[in-house]
Chain A
Amino acid sequence: MRPAASNLGDEVVLEAQALQQLLEVLSGRGYQVVGPTLRQGSLVYDRLSSLDDLPRGWGDQQEGGFFRLRPLNEPALFGYGVGQKSWKEFLYPPRRRLWPARQEAHGLQILPPGEDAVKFAFIGVHPCDLHAIAVQDKVFLEGPYLDLHYQARRQSAFILAVNCGHACGTGFCVSMGTGPRASSGFDLALTEILAEARHYLVVTVGSEKGRQVISQLPHRRAQAQELEAAAKVVAQAAGQMGRSLDTTEIKALLYRNYDNPRWDQVAARCLTCGNCTLVCPTCFCHTVEDTSGLTGEQAERWRRWDVCYTVDFSYLHGGSIRATPRSRYRQWLTHKLATWIDQFGVSGCVGCGRCITWCPVAIDITAEVRAIREGERSGARGQGPGARGQGAGISKGTDKSN
């Protein structure tokens, strides 16, 4: 294949083996290349040094509280859904030193943190996770204050998305409008096709960065039948989707139901372990930790992911605001699906299903919402903030008057 000129939005074909060159081109451009790889029976995102690091021939089986790798009968490179981890650990690391400080003779000295020059290329970002990155962009880049560290990593990142060829067991991206096809937010997006002894990738060029990279690889314009094959792969995934979440007026539904008895029912199962918040690709809550050295002359401030399921999370002198598991599960679910919309203009849920897979007791967010909706129909409706009328004043969550 001879390199052909490509433009934004073009769809081109790469042979599967050309991915190796793609990885090399990316590292040649100074990217730290990270992507899916196998570790201890699970699927993680980590550094890729060659194509062989990808889980070739492996798929996954996911159910509520269940994740197993399973061998496929084909050498697919992207035959699995989303793993436990998400890309947020690179853009928004679980632990990060904010700054070091020194106690000196003339008092406290706070030093600016060092530069963070790392530039990531993400290989194999599923459409739900692309949306999750867009959601975190709104949180970290569009509020009154920016997270400069996130901004630096985000702006320099290269994203190679992968359209889903099969539905993951717990996902419901079709309901959330986030998959199984990547529509925007990538530099390159590929659909992997294994058919009639051919193994190739139909690649959509999504940005100038993507165009430059593809121009260094042997590729050609995709033909009608290849595009058709790619569309079929994605349609097949959409058709397999086992779960759904009815999002009709979901914000109003949840605002009306803060006192729905279902919260007690789910609280009786919830262990408040917080797994769902750690695997969630949009959860952004964090806390800070202050440490000091043994001599008392050095101190550091660290930021780490926090979990809204702990009693400590809402602690104020005298006690915690959310003292019961009921209120903490309710906080998480209503934040994801309702208050998030008021705060950031989008849902905090992208339908990736991780919270279902990695919940040790298999609590299913789609089932909980369904139960609340059905419970309300049968009269178990509560006295939430939206219960009387339209919930006066609560729709202006981001209005900063004064």
Chain B
Amino acid sequence: MCSQLTDPMLPTPYQVLKRVRETKDTFTLTLAPVKGGQGFPFAPGQFNMLYIFGVGEVPISISGDPDRPEKLVHTVRAVGAVSRAICGLKKGDTLGVRGPYGVPWPVKAAPGYDVLVIAGGLGLAPVRPAVYHLLARRPEYGNLELIYGARTPEDLVYRRELSLWRGRFDFRVHVTVDAARNGWRGNVGVVPNLIARARFDPEQTMALVCGPGVMMRFTVQELVNRGLKMENIYVSLERNMKCGLGLCGHCQLGPFFVCKDGPVFPYDRVRDWFLMREV
């Protein structure tokens, strides 16, 4: 329990510095506090609640570099009223931000390990801060592998960055799509199929997995088949959230509130609940 003086439900106004289109419905916004200042520190995997004036508020993972917290970066897909409004913001527009919330990826516990970062679709956004963290401290880790899949080549996000990463000799990047037209020269198939190509020592490997439920289920299965310990597999879960504080009840998953006990969980801790339907 921590004492607190200010109301955690009060957002702080932020301003859009930059808006980049990732796909037809996904945008990356760079934000800074309207009043100036440094923003706030965050850990990879944490999320913020973003508020659009009069429309509403949604939880969105932070997708920027944790070593450069002065630039707050969020990648948002327009799927509902609020996320559509966020995607419609232009440079100079304001929105409310509160956070950061949640348990981060355990990158600080990973030195010495091989790290597999495995993402599906927009699941790359919540793990990107972990990738930044790992690359900034590259010598501390063993093999680093990114396995990333999307539905089609047009659905891949952070394309420029992916090609930069692919150019590195100390980071192996595998990209796949479920389906592609002529002209796509990369892999076609689902994410778990690419795990066979990754190099890692199962005894000394940590996997960070984020994506749609089905993708995570089969990915985890494949990782376990390849000898990873379930406690070294981390998943980031998604639920409806109204407060982010562990008070509104919407994100409950069995004995957990995803907002404060997660969103990142070691798989062995949530497995039974994760595999059950409608909990």
Q: Which A residues lie at the B interface, using CB under 8 A?
A: 98-99, 101, 103, 106-110, 112-113, 139-148, 258, 284-288, 290-292, 296, 299, 301, 303, 306, 308, 313-318, 321-324, 326-327, 330-331, 335, 339, 342-343, 384-386, 391-398, 400-402
Contact yes or no, B10 A112, CB < 8 A: yes
User: For residue A324, which residues in chain B have a CB less than 8 angstroms away from its CB?
Assistant: 278
Residue with the highest number of chain A CB atoms closer than 10 Å, among B51, B79, B106, B272: B272
How far is B274's CA from A394's CA once the two chains are assembled, in angstroms?
11
* Residues in chain B near residue A321, CB distance under 8 A: 239-240, 278-279
Q: Does B270 sit at the interface, judged by CB under 8 A?
A: yes
B256 at the interface (CB under 8 A from A): yes
* Given A146-B4, A314-B239, also A393-B103 (CB < 8 A): no
Task: Give Cα A349–Cα B252 distance, bound, in whole angstroms.
Answer: 18
Asked whether B255 lies within 8 Å of A316 as measured between CB atoms, the reply is: no
B245 at interface by CB-CB < 8 Å: yes
- Kindly identify which residue among A140, A327, A402 contacts B106, using a CB–CB cutoff of 8 Å: A402
The residue on B at minimum CB distance from A101 is B53
Question: Of B56, B109, B279, which contacts A331 at CB under 8 A?
Answer: B279
What is the minimal beta-carbon distance from A338 to any residue of chain B, in angstroms? 8
Q: How many angstroms from the CA of A396 to the CA of B248 in the assembled complex?
A: 20
Give the chain A neighbours of B80 by CB distance below 8 A: 317
Among the interface residues A284, A290, A318, which one has the most CB atoms of the partner chain B within 10 A? A290
Residues of A within 8 A of B4 (CB): 145-146, 148
Cross-chain contact A286 with B239 (CB below 8 angstroms): no
Out of A110, A303, A315, which one reaches B10, CB within 8 Å? A110
The answer to whether A143 touches B246 (Cβ under 8 A) is: yes
Interface size on B, residues (CB 8 A): 59
B133 at the binding interface (Cβ < 8 Å):
no
Q: A287 and B94: CB pair below 8 A?
A: no
A125–chain B nearest beta-carbon distance, Å = 23
Contact between A339 and B276 (Cβ–Cβ < 8 Å)? no
**B242 and A287: CB pair below 8 A?**
yes
B57 touches A290 (CB 8 A): yes
18 residue pairs A–B, Cβ–Cβ below 8 Å: A107-B93, A110-B11, A110-B96, A142-B1, A144-B245, A146-B8, A147-B247, A286-B247, A287-B250, A288-B248, A290-B51, A301-B9, A306-B249, A324-B278, A327-B278, A330-B278, A331-B252, A385-B276
Complex alpha-carbon distance, A99 and B106, angstroms: 35
Asked if B104 is at the interface of the complex by the 8 Å CB criterion, the answer is yes
- What is the bound-complex CA distance between A108 and B269, given in angstroms? 41
Which residue of chain A has its CB nearest to the CB of B95? A108
Q: Contact: B278 with A323, CB < 8 Å? A: yes
Contact partners of B260 in chain A: CB under 8 A: 143-144, 400
Establish whether residues B255 and A342, one from each chain, have CB atoms under 8 Å apart when the complex forms: yes
Which of A313, A323, A385, A401 touches B273 (beta carbons < 8 Å)?
A385
Residues of chain B with a CB closer than 8 A to A327's CB: 277-279
CB distance from B95 to the nearest CB of A (A): 7
Q: Given A286-B248, A392-B268: A107 and B7 within 8 A (CB)?
A: no
Q: How far is the CB of A298 from chain B (nearest CB, A)?
A: 8
User: Nearest Cβ in chain B — how far from A132, in angstroms?
Assistant: 16
Q: Are B250 and A314 in contact (CB under 8 A)?
A: yes
In the bound complex, residues from chain B placing their C-beta under 8 Å from that of A317 are 79-80, 83
CA distance A40 to B9 in the complex (A): 37
In the bound complex, how far is the Cα of B193 from the Cα of A229, in angstroms? 76
Beyond A290-B57, A291-B54, whether A384 also contacts B249 by CB under 8 A is no
Is the CB of B2 closer than 8 A to any CB of chain A?
yes
Closest Cβ of chain B to A341, distance in Å, is: 8
Q: Measured between C-beta atoms, what is the minimum distance from B47 to chain A in Å?
A: 14
CB distance from A343 to the nearest CB of B (A): 6
CB distance B55 to A316 under 8 Å?
no
Q: How far is the CB of B2 from chain A (nearest CB, A)?
A: 6
Smallest Cβ-Cβ distance to B98: which chain A residue: A110
How many Å lie between the Cα of A315 and that of B268 in the bound state? 25
| Residues on the B chain within 8 Å of A331, using CB | 252, 279
The 4 A-B pairs at the shortest CB distance, nearest first, are namely: A292-B54, A285-B249, A397-B255, A107-B94
Chain A nearest CB from B253 CB (Å) reads 9
Q: List residues of chain A with CB within 8 A of the CB of B272.
A: 384-386, 391-394
**Does B69 lie at the interface of the complex (its beta carbon under 8 Å from any beta carbon of A)?**
no
| A residues less than 8 Å from B215 (CB atoms) | none
A143 touches B249 (CB 8 A): no
B277 partner residues in chain A, CB cutoff 8 A: 327
Best-surrounded residue of B13, B252, B257 (most CB of chain A within 10 A): B252
Q: Return B93 CB to nearest CB of chain A, in Å.
A: 7
